[in-house]
Structure 1
């Protein structure tokens, strides 16, 4: 029998009350630090795993460089310390060397740490980013997770990134693994497609877990235990038909250009899900491509493609609603990512910021499944 969030992933998505007060307490069993926290998808999954185990948690510190995203995290979790800063100002020492003054201060701020979470910036690793081609300086931030382990000495570590992270030209993933092993951690790594966990989205992610215990779960064992049939888009957002409205940023779709509106109408009038090449703009039409999903329409009976911060724009992927002549709303995108209705994204007051926050987030179900098994092996 598969384990679902609060007993039912379907009901969890539609929860309107967080109930975090039941889990996030000052006198807790488990203390968490979340680096590169984003809006909190990883922390949400971890907290729900801890709840399922009948334990309580404290988020002692979270670090996020983007101000609005940090406000979003703070609004939802009220961590003991929310640091809106560049991680390199906190972890400025070199592996194996004595802690710097900044690192000692960060250590004091965090206190005892049981679980270290992190999703280092992944744009440079992504296969969608042809410009950087695995050679983005931001990729080096991945190694900061190893230095954080050296400074904070957590029992468990969970790191999420795109699959392309393992192909980084500097070998940052392997260097991180080797350093963590030098520090005495057992390592587990692998790829998990979130649709295999019952998400209504195909989203492959590279997972690295570390433990100071005597054993550590494999991604294969996690998939075996938490595997569910992929969910359809209808399962995730079918009940939101008719909810799109102007004046509410969370439920307001983008306004398409005249040309894109014609493309949307053509898809529906022709009962198509892929836009014919002749209907595409010249910059895309006249070049050989395999991106048939771009300018495409979603299907009710299939999972979504990988959702990105471009979900407001049909030129960025298959983001046209299956039934209504528009792109997705932020509410629908959040549901596809696995965020429940109680999660507060309203610190983001601009559409561009909201789209990036949701598109870059870690699906909570992914972190939930992995953290459940990490702490099970304690």
Structure 2
């Protein structure tokens, strides 16, 4: 069972938390925090003020045991066990993850946060996250993912299900910085009811291979879905990311904005699916996918699949591929920047409009991560 007191947390876990600044963030910024090392939840806390409002924030194993009447009706309904082989594997062996329930009308003003870390070699992490936000309620959830570097491969195969009931809002933010030996194969999907909104904000850094396509099924009239994604692939890495937007009701709106950076022999792939059936009316979609190549050996691929039937919808698609301008780098060097600093500044400028959508503390850390990833990429 995860500890609720900071004094009870093991010293090695506490040291990792202190380096991340999580205790400070929890005191000043977060409404609650949950941390999982390998398969076990290590620390969990939720502030009294939101607990009094009836907000539930526990690990999924505890949620299944303590709140079966809320947990069971929605478990596996957004992502069925047989959806794909990795969701089937997760359903069979899942351990940990977050379970959140926000009662009707409750607006959680500060984010809830989870931290997932793989410490063991030759390991598989299979957390399961289920977030249910009742009518008129709102929540922001942030997760961070890391792992130390090992010689052998490690698998991370999570399943995340979001349920936004009528007039509810969910914002789900991910910042991953996996080591290069991790295979990150996850399934994430949300179900938005009438006039509800689900936003996925995703940053994918590190891992040997990432395959992640957050999706939203807009089930109710005037539901809204959005995916904002940043991916950075270095030597030997493949970031295969994208989004799925399924319109299943009239006057639904979806927005997909994706930016990727490929460094060295890194490869970035965008796969997007948008589906608007013929019988619906007044649906709208916007899809943008931009790629930046740093080196001549870098690679990017784009596979948009937009299916729009009927003539009462509006959709637009924009895509671009560009390379860092040598003139731009030269100009910045004349202003006193090193080549590495100029390259990092150029990359941060490319993703800046998306980075600004992250909370302030995360956007600062994200820029630092990009700076670190860009070190050694020139020359």
TM-score by shorter chain over 0.5: no
Q: TM-score range by the shorter chain?
A: under 0.3
Point out the structure with the larger strand share.
2
Which structure has more relative contact order (CA 8 Å, sep 6+)? It is: 1
Decide which structure has greater helix share.
Answer: 1
TM-score by length of 2: 0.25
Q: Could you tell me the TM-score, scaled by structure 1's length? A: 0.25
